[in-house]
């Protein structure tokens, strides 16, 4: 029976929803876990969203679940929901568990693992409202492409590496099953061939689905990214009194990393709105191109040619470009119009060696810091490096001191900003005792 708990005060509800709506991307899962847990207890929660290409998986709660849940598991839940199903159980962290799943208009899903009873009648609607607010805010933060998000997204491609590792492990299991079937002596040749064929067929489907998932998380076809931009700006052209012309990028151009696509759309949207504020602007041309190494963006108007490069709004656009190692230039010719040119490299610069030198990190300290960026806990770091947890704690304290920080999150954020990513320099498993 549902416990008799009074409805919360409206002011408290507003405060809780506000806490979720204002949460930065890296703490939104923790805020959701706290706020939803007040009316719907649960052991852990996980969010899966393709909007956030850097970290599509966000989670909070019991580490026994959050450290083992995979993107493939969450994607399977999302596909069930997209197909019109509402699962009450799912494989999460390798185990079939009771779940309560909420979708959102953005396509993201929230999975509550091992939920309890709702605190009061109507609490489910409250949970859904909080979740939709969070999902909408996630999309908004990604669309705004703030410099801190862009740096984190570029540096945090470890999530993609994790998906690849998951697929590799699954593929290894399938191959081992296939070999065991073919080598077994309990089956005749025809039966063994039939089982091997079925196993191979299922494995092939899994690999193809997994490859599509990795690609969708990591990159966006340039034509698709530009099409989303056109859709965003269509209302301005239709109702804003300004004609927006689009010069399509080559259809066979190199796919864009997710953070580059987000940044480019955000810069163009802001540039178009900035140009539209000028007098006598009737036409704005937007062009994307790619030289194989950089995305080249040009936004040009037919206005008075007085766009001031020193304007705060333009400086903010330049900051977005430089956050990804790119550049922004403004050329304004009086009576001829203004043009904003942006260059964003498709591959991240390697700044990790410089950061290591400046911080005077030792080889082992560098390995520990890279694993911190990858989200590893002390126990996992110890296992990866073949050292004790006490040794990990010692190296971590040394890293904190040299970076001038006092927390794990601060150290990981600072290292990510410097490009010191686990995926850039994979850490080999050390032999025990080293």
pLDDT of residue 425: 40
User: Is residue 364 in a domain?
Assistant: yes
Residues 44 and 127 in one domain: yes
Residues 53 and 116 in one domain: yes
User: Is residue 167 in a domain?
Assistant: yes
Selection from 43, 9, 28, 50 nearest residue 131 by Cα = 28
Total domain count for the chain?
A: 4
pLDDT of residue 148: 58
Residues 294 and 191 in one domain: no
Q: What is the pLDDT of residues 106-144, one digit of tens each?
A: 889 999 999 999 988 888 899 999 999 999 888 877 766
User: Is residue 151 in a domain?
Assistant: no
Residues 228 and 211 in one domain: no
Residues 55 and 135 in one domain: yes
Q: What is the CATH number of the domain that holds 59?
A: 3.30.450
List the end-to-end C-alpha distance of the chain, in Å, as a whole number: 56
CB-count exposure of residue 357 (10 Å: 0-12, 13-18, 19+): exposed
> What residue ranges in 305-410 does DSSP mark as E strands?
327-333, 337-345
Whether the CB-CB separation of 317 and 273 falls below 8 Å is answered with: no
Residues 262 and 279 in one domain: yes
Q: What is the CATH number of the domain that holds 394?
A: 1.10.10.10
Residues 82 and 180 in one domain: no
User: Is residue 427 in a domain?
Assistant: no
Residue where a domain stops, chosen among 99, 116, 145: 145
Residues 306 and 228 in one domain: yes
Q: Cα dist. 267→152, 204, 263, 292 in Å?
A: 18, 40, 6, 20
Whether the CB-CB separation of 146 and 322 falls below 8 Å is answered with: no
User: Is residue 304 in a domain?
Assistant: yes
Residue where a domain stops, chosen among 345, 365, 400: 345
pLDDT of residue 377: 83
pLDDT of residue 90: 94
Entry pTM: 0.51
CA 9 to chain centre: 35
User: Is residue 261 in a domain?
Assistant: yes
pLDDT of residue 180: 67
User: Is residue 114 in a domain?
Assistant: yes
Residue with tokens 């191979």: 200
Helices (H), 219-359: 222-239, 258-276, 312-323, 352-359
Separation CA 386–CA 433 (nearest Å): 6
DSSP class of 303: S
- Could you list the residue range(s) of the whole structural domain that residue 237 is in? 222-345
Residues 245 and 280 in one domain: yes
Residues 18 and 134 in one domain: yes
pLDDT of residue 302: 92
User: Is residue 254 in a domain?
Assistant: yes
Separation CA 133–CA 397 (nearest Å): 38
Residue where a domain stops, chosen among 123, 145, 167: 145
Which residues of the chain have a pLDDT value below 70? 1-8, 51-55, 143-187, 200-218, 239, 348-358, 416-434
pLDDT of residue 318: 85
Whether the CB-CB separation of 45 and 36 falls below 8 Å is answered with: yes
Residues 108 and 232 in one domain: no
Q: What is the CATH number of the domain that holds 264?
A: 3.30.565.10
Residues 229 and 319 in one domain: yes
Separation CA 96–CA 375 (nearest Å): 25
């Amino acid at each position: 029976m549902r416990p008799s708990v009074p409805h919360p005060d409206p002011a408290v509800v507003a405060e809780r929803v506000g806490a979720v709506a204002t949460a930065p991307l890296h703490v939104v899962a923790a805020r959701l876990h706290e706020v939803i847990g007040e009316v719907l207890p649960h052991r852990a929660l996980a969010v899966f969203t393709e909007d956030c290409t850097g970290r599509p998986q966000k989670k909070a709660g019991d580490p026994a679940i959050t450290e083992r849940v995979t993107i493939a598991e969450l994607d399977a839940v999302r596909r069930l929901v997209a197909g019109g199903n509402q699962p009450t159980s799912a494989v999460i962290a390798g185990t079939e568990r009771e779940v309560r799943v909420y979708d959102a208009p953005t396509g993201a899903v929230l999975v509550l693992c091992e939920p309890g009873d709702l605190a009061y009648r109507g609490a489910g609607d409250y949970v859904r409202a909080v979740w939709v607010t969070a999902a909408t805010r996630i999309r908004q933060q990604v669309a705004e492409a703030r410099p801190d998000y862009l740096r984190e997204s570029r540096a945090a491609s470890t999530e993609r590496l994790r998906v690849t590792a998951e697929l590799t492990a699954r593929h290894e299991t399938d191959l081992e099953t296939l070999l065991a079937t073919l080598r077994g002596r309990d089956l005749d040749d025809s039966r063994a061939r039939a089982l091997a064929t079925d196993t191979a067929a299922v494995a092939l489907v899994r690999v193809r689905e997994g490859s599509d998932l990795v690609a969708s998380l990591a990159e966006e076809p340039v034509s698709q990214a530009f099409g989303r931009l056109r859709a965003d700006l269509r209302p301005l052209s239709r109702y804003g009194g300004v004609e927006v012309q689009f010069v399509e990028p080559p259809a066979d151009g190199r796919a864009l990393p997710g953070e580059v696509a987000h940044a480019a759309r955000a810069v163009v949207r802001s540039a178009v709105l900035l140009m539209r504020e000028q007098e006598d602007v009737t036409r704005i041309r937007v062009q994307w191109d790619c030289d194989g190494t950089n995305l080249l963006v040009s936004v040009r108007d037919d206005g008075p040619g007085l766009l001031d490069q020193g304007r705060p709004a333009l400086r903010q656009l330049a900051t977005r470009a430089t956050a990804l190692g790119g550049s922004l230039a403004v050329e304004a010719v009086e009576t001829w119009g203004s043009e904003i040119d942006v260059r964003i490299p498709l591959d991240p610069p390697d700044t990790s060696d410089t950061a290591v030198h400046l911080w005077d990190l030792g080889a082992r300290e560098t390995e520990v810091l890279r694993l911190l960026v990858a989200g590893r806990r002390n126990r996992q770091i110890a296992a990866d490096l073949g050292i004790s947890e006490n040794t990990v704690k010692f190296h971590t304290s040394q890293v904190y001191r040299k970076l001038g920080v006092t927390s794990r999150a601060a150290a990981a954020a600072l290292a990510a900003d410097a490009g010191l990513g686990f995926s850039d320099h994979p850490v080999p498993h050390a032999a025990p005792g080293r």
